A = this chain, B = another copy of it.
Amino acid sequence: MNEHTFELTEVTGTSSSSIEDAIQSAVSRVGKTNREMRWFQVTEIRGAIHEGKASQWQVTVKIGSRME
């Protein structure tokens, strides 16, 4: 952080396999148009239940990226 300003973008990633995968998927999606991502902070972990099982992980993260 060398005197730059960083923007925090809040997104919810989803995955049927794991919490880490839901985060990875959110980071990948934001990375399509943003090449300056540096860190993330988890703000919420939720999920859907289908037929008696946790069927989807929904993890909300704030992604910090350097403003160019």
Bin the interface of chain A by size: 35 or more
Give Cα A42–Cα B29 distance, bound, in whole angstroms: 24
A49 near B27 with CB under 8 A, answer: yes
Give Cα A1–Cα B55 distance, bound, in whole angstroms: 11
Give Cα A28–Cα B55 distance, bound, in whole angstroms: 12
Instruction: Please indicate the chain B residues that have their CB under 8 angstroms from the CB of A2 in the complex.
Output: 14
B6 near A11 with CB under 8 A, answer: yes
Instruction: Please indicate the chain B residues that have their CB under 8 angstroms from the CB of A20 in the complex.
Output: 18-19, 54, 57
Rounded to whole Å, the gap between the CB of A13 and the closest CB of chain B is 5
Give Cα A66–Cα B7 distance, bound, in whole angstroms: 18
A49 near B39 with CB under 8 A, answer: yes
